[in-house]
Amino acid sequence: MAKIGSLLKKAAKKKAPSKSKSKTPTVERDDLTEAIDKWLEADKMAKDGKALKEQAEAVILPEIEDERLQKCREDGEHHSSIKVNGKITVSARNSYSKIEATEENEGTLREAAGDRFDEFFKEKTSVSLKSSLLEDEEAMTKIIEAVGEENFERFFDVKQHIAVTEAFHKGRATNEKVAEIFENLADEGLVKPSKNSVKRA
């Protein structure tokens, strides 16, 4: 057992990143230099702006939340939003992190809420079939037989779509016939690729 333990520890150790060359091709396009520079500048401004906004929010939000709660109590009604200096509006959403449904958590909540537990909290359950099970005809047949074909739609919310495979995506780039199929389907508005992304090199 000691040998297995040391073998597992050795395998779990971080491996040094390999210094293999990138397979990403490079092109030089002088006619795009201005647009690329604008994109890089805008990207930096967006990141700087996001950081400044987050810093300001860290100061504003706790202060204004106290003000909002005070106004709610003074007015005896719930205000989900509050205007500040006529320049911004701060809104509080009815959104909380999920609480794991354990006996310990429920006990803590019941102790805190007292006889208002059922008013303040509600246990919710969601069940979904594993995608691998949907491809297992034998398993799906058993499920349908168990609930009955007539009840299937009552118990299951089913949505279907046709997904583009990786073979089509790669073939579009490397095979002229597949590219032609793509062009025809794109012209019909049926196959719409997602917008390509841009990031710093």
pLDDT in tens, 87-125: 999 999 888 889 999 999 999 999 999 999 999 999 988
pLDDT at residue 154, rounded to an integer: 87
Q: At residue 2, does pLDDT exceed 60?
A: no
Domain residue spans in the chain? 33-95, 97-124, 131-187
pTM attached to this predicted model: 0.58
pLDDT tens-digit readout, 5-43: 555 556 666 555 666 777 889 999 999 999 999 999 999
DSSP string computed for 92-160 = --S--------HHHHHHHHHHHGGGHHHH----------HHHHT-HHHHHHHHHHH-GGGHHHH-----
| CA–CA distance, 198 with 48 (Å, rounded to integer) | 18
CB 120 within 8 A of CB 113: yes
State the angle between helix axes of 176-187 and 166-174 in degrees (0 to 180), rounded to the nearest 10. Answer: 110
3-state SS assignment for residue 57 = helix
pLDDT tens-digit readout, 148-172: 989 888 888 888 888 899 999 999 9
